[in-house]
Amino acid sequence: MSKPIVVGADGTPGSEPALEWATAEAHRRSLPILVLHVGDVDDYPAVNSGSLLKRTHGQRVAAKAVEAVRARGVSVSSVVIPGHPADVLASWSTDASMIVLGSRGLNKTGTAIHGSVGLSVTARARCPVVVVRNALRRRAPVVVGVDGSPASGAAIVFAMDYAARRNTWVRAVHAWRRGMLPGSGDLATERTAHLKVVTDAMTGVRDRFPSVPVRIARPIGRPADILTDESTAAQLVVVGTRGHGYVSGLLLGSVSQALLRSANCPLAVIPEER
């Protein structure tokens, strides 16, 4: 049986775009959805069959989400369970094809209100985690961060597969700074070397998705800043996690953390394949 797409639902406006994004993705992948609400049941989890006479707040939130998904013709179930949201969501990652979360954005001091949950889940999950904010730009490219690490490879596969399902193209972005490669010399030599990092990373993957156009960008600068800029014209930004790329360290947690706060489109964080 295929693993479901697990969607975190808390009843806030920020969770609605996540549910919409997950429903569209489940339809394209022919996967079921599991709506997961964490936090307001005293003793036992409750599986919502639609026949409960008395519902807690969490069950009402889950029931509303189930109704919205079912209206789109996607198979759906829901679970309401006690615990800390980040812990519960991370624990479900072994039984999910991906986890989808909403974003509540920033408060007046610039601190991510929902960021602690998103950061914790993306750091611990065993499956892809997508944090959804802002409207989907359907004709925009998928941007993937590339640094030559195994986690970067997993991110590239996810990005190419997503682009193929949405009939769009991929922009492979490799951000770098001077002097990062052993034996670096003049600027032209460094540019050529960093181009090889991207082309090597894409080798083989492009053959698996021949219908997906790929454009390569290798700007000089901080990866988090560059990918934030790229997100303003993307429908999805994809990065790997737990990667220690030998070139730029693009996929370290600090970049994912920064993008959770600053990305202007949905962000997918992909764990290294094990």
pTM assigned to the model:
0.85
Please choose, from the candidates 249, 238, 227, the residue with its C-alpha nearest in 3D space to the C-alpha of residue 157: 238
Per-residue pLDDT reduced to its tens digit, 182-204: 555 677 778 888 888 889 999 88
Q: How much is the pLDDT for 95?
A: 94
Residue 35 CB contacts under 8 Å (≥ 6 apart), including other chains: 7, 9, 19, 62, 65, 66, 69, 76, 77, 78, 79
Per-residue pLDDT reduced to its tens digit, 203-219: 889 999 999 999 999 89
- Looking at the domain 5-132, which fold is it? Rossmann fold (3.40.50)
As a CATH number, domain 142-271 is 3.40.50.620
Q: Is the pLDDT of residue 180 over 70?
A: no
Q: How much is the pLDDT for 272?
A: 80
Q: Where in the chain is the domain with CATH 3.40.50.620?
A: 5-132, 142-271
Per-residue pLDDT reduced to its tens digit, 111-169: 333 457 888 888 889 999 999 986 677 789 999 999 888 888 999 999 999 999 999 99
Q: For 111-222, where are the alpha helices, taking DSSP H only?
A: 115-124, 150-166, 187-202, 205-208
Q: How much is the pLDDT for 118?
A: 83
